[in-house]
Structure 1
Amino acid sequence: MARRKTITREHILNATHEVVATEGFSGFTARNIASKMKSSTQPIYLEFKNMEELREAFFEEVEDYLRNEVFNKEVSGDPIIDLTLNYVEFARKEKMLFRALFVEDHAGGQLLNEFGLKMFIEKAKDSELYQGVSDEELNTAFLGNWITATGLASLATSERIHPTTEEMVSILNIVNKSIKRNPTFTITM
């Protein structure tokens, strides 16, 4: 009689999430993930052909989590401002995971850049401020918002600043109006 599979893809992805959320990507090894599951590395390699495939599956899970549980909360009523406020709140609540995903240099960095841009464009379509602007202007607006959001998130997670929601909304309104008035600056990702 064949042995029943006890460690599933979901178990492996949950363990991966726990490892990255506590150790960052420096802990992203088969041995660390297996240790979190109290198993050998064999179940990982039975489910995924290599660690790169596991990393890709992990990023798919992260994107779903961010899209459905983090970035969809309505806070201020402005979808662009809400996206930033939710990003900062995520950074405050899950400091190590935030750093691992958005600060550390890792193979998924470009994927998260693209994901962030896609989320911003989706939200911009629902924002009065960005109605009728070109794709180039949207890219510029994304970069300005992302730089501001990452600065706020990084400073808040390191507890160097303690902005209220109202203070962040005020900052973001100033940034967005400034970008809208001068949409020609460019920064490459």
Structure 2
Amino acid sequence: MRRKVYTKDQILKAAYEVVAKEGFKGFTARNIAKKMGISTQPIYLEFKNMEDLKNTLLDSIFDQLKEEVFPVEHTGDKIIDLGLNYINFAKKHHSLYMALYIDEHGDGKKMHDFSYNYFYEAAKKDEKYSHLSDEYIDALHTGTWVVVTGLASLMSSNIMQPTEEQIISLISRTIDSVLSLDNPEIIR
């Protein structure tokens, strides 16, 4: 009888579904195997350990965010658009958003680094921000991160539902406030 072979992609898909539904607290070989209807053995044949699977999963999620979620244009301002896309992701994929950005079992440092690097590159590609020093970009990141994370959390929990126009206004005012500072270090 032929043995069924499970691919890395199939395991990653199941791992993604587990995290998207249960968060990283449910990210175990047993739960992923159960999702696939298999033993845990194929998981350990494809990945060195669960940390390897988690890092591979996060990298694939980063690719998805970079290619499909974050670059969607709304206003033409890359920072405002990034904020809107982050908030929309949190609303549309609440459990996955919570697992990635809020969950203590996730990898908050890796998520922060990914988000910061994406933000930095987006700012440097936008004519409005490309001339700014790293200090101002850092301050812009901190200021807008606080605003959009607060909005994302409140909106994805249905506590408040501002319009897109109101969200754009809040992000714009944050950007303007940071850019008007004599010393951007005050934000960091």
Give the TM-score range, shorter chain. over 0.9
Residue 126 of structure 1: aligned partner: 125
Residues in 1 aligned to 2:123 and 2:50: alpha-carbon distance in whole angstroms: 35
Letter in structure 1 aligned against 2:165: E
Residues in 2 aligned to 1:24 and 1:105: alpha-carbon distance in whole angstroms: 10
Residue 64 of structure 1: aligned partner: 63
Residues in 2 aligned to 1:78 and 1:53: alpha-carbon distance in whole angstroms: 36
Shift of 1:108: 2.0
Residue 55 of structure 1: aligned partner: 54
Unaligned runs of 5+ in 1: none
Q: How does 1:152-167 map to 2 (within 5 A)?
A: 152-167=151-166
Residues in 2 aligned to 1:45 and 1:109: alpha-carbon distance in whole angstroms: 25
TM-superposition CA deviations, 1:66-117 (whole Å, max 9, x none): 1011101001111110000000000000000000000112352111111111
Q: Given that residues 100 and 106 in structure 2 are in contact (C-alpha distance below 8 angstroms), is that contact kept between their aligned partners in structure 1?
A: no
- How high is the TM-score relative to the length of structure 2? 0.94
- How high is the TM-score relative to the length of structure 1? 0.94
Shift of 1:5: 4.7
Q: How does 1:12-31 map to 2 (within 5 A)?
A: 12-31=11-30
Unaligned runs of 5+ in 2: none
RMSD: 1.3
Residue 100 of structure 1: aligned partner: 99
- The reply on whether 1:185 has 2:186 as its aligned counterpart is yes
Shift of 1:16: 0.6
Residues in 2 aligned to 1:172 and 1:107: alpha-carbon distance in whole angstroms: 27
Q: Structure 1 residue runs of 4+, over 3 Å off?
A: none
Residue 140 of structure 2: aligned partner: 141
Distance 1:107 1:163, change over 3 A: closer
Letter in structure 2 aligned against 1:126: K
